[in-house]
A and B are shown apart, each in its own frame.
Chain A
């Protein structure tokens, strides 16, 4: 596709959309139930009223507020309706252009909407994920044209470096540096991988991005491949995400049809083919070297690093691995410039971050906020606080291997550094809110059980260590623990953290260590033997 063709297609679609006086957008994410029936009844109702020429019903990606889904958005008035059922369709259609349906109204002045800053999610919930025209009309794929026709690869890498973007998958490694390493690495064949193996319990950022704006991820990947010189790309996505896989496949096919993928992209000499690889649901395959093993068709077990994938990755070739959200940020950086991106966030953590808010919180859902926003703002303003008048107890960030942060640190600004200073991690962006009805030891036991079950078994400390930690925690849960068990628990956590092979084992003790630090009393309450003065001194 040439630039003129792109502009023509975008304009055509825009003209078509502009022909309608009202747009009804229905969330069609995996979490919004009955959305297909809602769309069907809305369309029936429109046909019955003879409004086909004036009202367009479209399915769109996630609008974020999953707790009150399915959500329906009326444009151009920006009216949000919550928990819509197919039976509400006649009322919604009748109210078009008149007074909104009060019963279903969701005020758009909620802090949930106003306090967010949407970059990656800007188009999520606004465009049809299965229509390339919608993405083009919203300004999509212009960044690819800019990158390929106006910029040389080193300029793109410099732009990404200047933006200060850091990997959104968890570790926060500078993206530009990774790109520069792969670009410089010696190797005839280089590979590009998109890590969409999101496995944290309670996290759905990557799934939502793939379901809502699959083309944005592809666009980021095309720019990345051009910058580092890769001609083959893989998207490693878990098979438990059927909708994301379906929409990705559709997006790849459309992009191939329009010469945005394949041979001589946009009339340049650059080729790129992207293939989907389905993961079988092993958590450890989110670790980059285990993911590479899995793509190669082997058992997903991590390799020792170094050599890092940037040097020797897939089939021994230099490989660039980035997370879904990282790729989704790239088109924006290319289009609006690195300075725009670097102006957001904190000094060391730039830009915005998508989080999945879950647990005991009113507004469960998907949010995007600038780095540096405090946990308090996220939980109480955007999240709407704790339901049923319960008290906030802790927030667990970064998935099963993150730490639990207590109430006294609620004013901590969220950034890679501040979270790791508190003994937790940014991770891929899961946030689980815990209220006073939960006991921390039970929660930690759940997370360790998860890590134990997901350990690949390659290295001793992770394989046996997590199982032993689990046995000890079970003793605490059963009120059978002794002071020696507490000492053993701390010794084991230190061992597993420092001697495990990959990130899974190294971070698996985080929930235990952070709760031993902040909620020690809850462990002590479950110890049955009398305090021995010498043992107490050891702690």
Chain B
């Protein structure tokens, strides 16, 4: 089956893509930056962080680029004052939600949330920080889960379920009280399903998941491996 090729414009630049591709995929192919946090190539798209919201001509509604398929003749705007403003506010909301203290974080200097804040020019947070009292799960022999740094992007949940196939992680509670849990809310170290592969640690955009005993400069996350893993699995299936 040959896929249909569609043409569209992103920020006025004419581009083309396959009918099943999303705006984000086409934009990245053409080096048009769209910020994301929950999206990670190789995992199923979630559309949860709402940072990749773009404007599409003819609609007042914003659409998330990571899950919106391209259409023929679509005119997409990925950057303007309104979108930048919304993105800044969303990142500010994320910072205000939990205890993100970069100076004492193992991911300082290589954190996706921090990088994004810097790119968007955020130098302060407009909203009062919530400072929730959240636990740190250091029961695993090699890894640590620090809920204070978690932004609930659920990359760990998806990588564990979709790629490792263990489904150790999930989310408990709802809304502002959501928390990542292992198994049926048991300490990570007692988990019967965790294989200890460490994929969750390496897809985590912040310092919420890290390896024990590593310094800030050592705790670099190795993300590029993921698409290859996915590709290999797909090959095996064929």
Contacts and interface: CB of A to CB of B under 8 A. Distances in A.
Contacts of B126: 488, 491
Contacts of B68: 304
A75 B90 CA distance: 62
Interface in B14-68: 45-51, 53, 61-62, 64, 67-68
Interface in A424-463: 452-463
B206 to A, nearest CB: 13
Interface string A381-402: 0000000000000000000000
Interface string B109-135: 000000000000000001110100000
B175 A459 contact: no
Contacts of B130: 467, 471
B141 interface: no
A462 B178 CA distance: 12
- Pick from A284, A304, A465 the residue with the most CB of B within 10 Å: A304
Contacts of B177: 457
A254 to B, nearest CB: 37
Contacts of B64: 304, 501
B86 A499 contact: yes
A468 B47 contact: no
Interface string A404-427: 000000000000000000000000
A500 interface: yes
Contact of A457 (B45, B128, B170, B174): B174
A279 B128 CA distance: 35
B170 to A, nearest CB: 8
A94 interface: no
Contact of B174 (A306, A456, A460, A465): A456
Contacts of B93: 460-461, 464-465, 468
Given A452-B175, A457-B178, A488-B126, A499 B90 contact: yes
B127 A468 contact: yes
A463 B150 CA distance: 14
A529 to B, nearest CB: 16
B152 A491 contact: no
* Interface band, chain B: 35 or more
A104 interface: no
A282 interface: yes
Nearest to B89: A495
Given A460-B93, A499-B86, A455 B50 contact: no
Contacts of A498: 61-62, 86
A464 B176 contact: yes
B235 to A, nearest CB: 24
A456 B86 contact: no
Contact of B171 (A282, A299, A453): A299
A457 B86 contact: no
Q: Is the interface on chain A under 10, 10 to 19, 20 to 34, or 35 or more residues?
A: 20 to 34
A464 B97 contact: yes
A463 B90 contact: no
Contacts of B48: 458-460, 501
A53 B7 CA distance: 79
A213 interface: no
B96 interface: yes
A276 to B, nearest CB: 24
A460 B90 contact: yes
Contact of A495 (B51, B90, B174): B90
A467 B131 CA distance: 13
Contacts of A492: 89, 127
B47 A464 contact: no
A208 interface: no
Question: Which of A454, A455, A459 has the most chain B CB atoms inside 10 A of its CB?
Answer: A459
A237 to B, nearest CB: 20
A319 interface: no
Contacts of A501: 47-48, 50, 64
Contacts of B173: 457
A35 interface: no
Nearest to B97: A464
Contacts of A462: 175
A245 to B, nearest CB: 23
B145 interface: no
Contact of B175 (A306, A467, A499, A500): A467
Interface string A169-206: 00000000000000000000000000000000000000
Interface string B89-101: 1100110110000
Contacts of B171: 299, 457
A466 interface: yes
Given A495-B90, A498-B86, A460 B176 contact: no
Contacts of A454: 174-175
16 contacts: A284-B174, A299-B171, A304-B47, A454-B174, A457-B174, A457-B177, A460-B50, A460-B90, A460-B93, A460-B94, A461-B90, A462-B175, A464-B97, A488-B126, A499-B62, A501-B50
Given A452-B176, A463-B175, A495-B86, 9 more contacts: A304-B67, A455-B176, A456-B175, A460-B49, A460-B90, A464-B96, A468-B93, A491-B126, A499-B50
Interface of B: 45-51, 53, 61-62, 64, 67-69, 86, 89-90, 93-94, 96-97, 126-128, 130, 151-152, 170-171, 173-178
Interface of A: 282, 284, 299, 304, 306, 452-468, 471, 488, 491-492, 495, 498-501
